[in-house]
Amino acid sequence: MRKQPKPKENIFDEKLIAELKEKKKSFAFYSKNYYPGGKRLADVVIGFFVLAVFMILFPFVAVAIKLDSKGPIFFAQARVGMYGHVFKIYKLRTMCVNAEDLIAHEAVGEDGNVFVQRENDTRVTRVGSFLRRFSIDELPQLFCVVRGDMSFIGPRPFIIKEVKALTRDHQFRHVVKPGLTGWAQVSGRGELDQEQRFDKDMEYLEKLSAWLDIKILWKTIVNVLFSSGV
């Protein structure tokens, strides 16, 4: 059997990567040497703690997913991270197995903008709707956080097709690791279009600090508790 070619490890050319690294030096957080190390330490420590809690809940969630609809428990998808690095994220499956092959007009905005998500997507299962309501489906991404592909806080990682649709200026959001939640998610969630998300991502980079990360994490927890999602 012929082996399938491995996905590209990076979708950015060397010139763009060099531009991103140079742009990164213009942000205040770059000169604060304590911040990157402290952020990474917090990601690992908190990540392991939350994963321990998740593993207790996982058997019950897994059974619910399997009883509700046919298909695997996890959903894997290639996403783009810092400097264009391609990695796989994992989520608990919340849609029918052929969701990516179905064209659901309910899943996008009225103007066809894939960055504006609607809530009433017919591809979402009953259990999936509950998991999304409390962002439980996102928890497997903690493995990506501990592994170092993601951080707790940062711009949300887009799929390859979405990243290729961005302008070159928009790629500056990739100077840091993507996050489980971010400034855009707690400032409007799925109602933001592409340009608004980019503005929020750049605002996050310009104001980036440990206190801002704590603020975003707190707002995320409040949104989840009140079923606003992130």
For the chain, give every domain's residue range: 14-225
- Nearest CA among 135, 109, 115 for reference residue 57: 135
The pLDDT, as a whole number, for residue 18 is 95
Give the C-alpha separation, 188 to 16, whole Å.
29
The pLDDT, as a whole number, for residue 76 is 92
The pLDDT, as a whole number, for residue 119 is 59
The pLDDT, as a whole number, for residue 1 is 45
The pLDDT, as a whole number, for residue 219 is 93
Contact status, residue 151 vs residue 182, Cβ threshold 8 Å: no
Look up residue 123 and give its DSSP letter.
T
The pLDDT, as a whole number, for residue 58 is 93
The pLDDT, as a whole number, for residue 34 is 73
Q: Please identify every stretch of the chain with a pLDDT value under 50, giving residue numbers as ranges.
A: 1, 105-107, 111-112
* SS3 assignment, position 115: coil
Give the C-alpha separation, 105 to 118, whole Å.
9
Helix or strand run (H / E) with residue 151: strand 151-153
The pLDDT, as a whole number, for residue 102 is 64
